């Protein structure tokens, strides 16, 4: 291996480490969502919002590193595919992180505390955390089998989301104005989790592309 090639591989590995670290930071945000819901803690929710800038800064750094690698090395084939994958995964992770911020804002600004709604958020968040843990492991190991297993988990998340939204809509139709408003706000929160699951599926698609060079549409 030439020195130039070794230097390129080191930089590419560094890029992937940044993406992985970004994923771990996003995952921490969802751990904190669970903790904030369970403890009804605005302070923990504020930590999620405060940490969002760091996640965004990591994504910017990944973009800069990736474009510099392309400009300096003119990679082709598998090398270029790895750089493109890193960029796409970072974009999805940034969006997943944004959804955690939206949920944190809901926890801070929602005055009425309905434990049933919180339990719904906790249940779906736990499922999403498992998906996010799995997809980051699949990414770092380049494991298609695990990525596809995570994709199947998104189908379960979608089904659970539909069931719980129907219940919240029923509350909105049958209860008082205050209770109805609370239910509608809860729907907006669980929608964040459903969307986050879709972005995890995008990451699974990009892992398949990374490993075998084929574009697939999952879920």
212 versus 59: the higher-pLDDT residue is: 59
Q: How far is CA 84 from CA 65, 69, 88, 213, in A?
A: 12, 11, 6, 11
Overall number of domains in the chain: 1
Please give the mean pLDDT across all residues of the chain. Answer: 91
**Does the residue 99 lie in any domain?**
yes
- Domain extent for 205: 3-212
**Does the residue 218 lie in any domain?**
no
Average confidence (pLDDT) over 10-16: 92
Average confidence (pLDDT) over 118-125: 93
pLDDT at 94 over 60: yes
**Does the residue 219 lie in any domain?**
no
Average confidence (pLDDT) over 175-198: 87
pTM recorded for the entire structure:
0.93
Q: Give the pLDDT band of residue 111 (cuts 50, 70, 90).
A: low
Average confidence (pLDDT) over 113-137: 92
**Does the residue 217 lie in any domain?**
no
Average confidence (pLDDT) over 98-121: 86
pLDDT at 112 over 60: no
For residue 103, what is the domain's CATH number?
A: 1.20.58.220
């Amino acid at each position: 291996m030439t020195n130039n090639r070794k230097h390129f591989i080191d930089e590419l590995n560094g890029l992937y480490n940044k993406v992985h670290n970004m994923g771990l930071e996003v995952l921490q945000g969802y751990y904190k969502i669970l903790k904030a819901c369970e403890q009804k803690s605005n302070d923990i929710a504020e930590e999620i919002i405060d940490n969002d800038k760091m996640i965004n800064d990591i994504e910017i750094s990944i973009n800069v590193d990736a474009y510099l690698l392309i400009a300096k090395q003119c990679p082709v084939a598998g090398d270029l595919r790895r750089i493109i994958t890193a960029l796409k995964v970072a974009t999805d992770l940034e969006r997943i992180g944004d959804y955690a911020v939206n949920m944190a804002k809901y926890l801070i600004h929602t005055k009425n505390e309905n434990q049933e709604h919180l339990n719904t958020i906790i249940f779906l968040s736990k499922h999403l955390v498992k998906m996010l843990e799995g997809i980051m492991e699949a990414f770092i190991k380049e494991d298609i089998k695990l990525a596809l297993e995570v994709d199947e988990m998104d189908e379960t998340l979608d089904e659970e989301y539909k069931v719980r939204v129907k219940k919240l809509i029923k509350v909105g139709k049958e209860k008082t104005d205050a209770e109805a408003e609370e239910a509608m706000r809860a729907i907006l929160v669980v929608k964040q989790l459903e969307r986050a699951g879709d972005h995890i599926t995008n990451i699974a698609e990009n892992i398949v592309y990374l490993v075998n060079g084929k574009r697939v549409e999952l879920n």
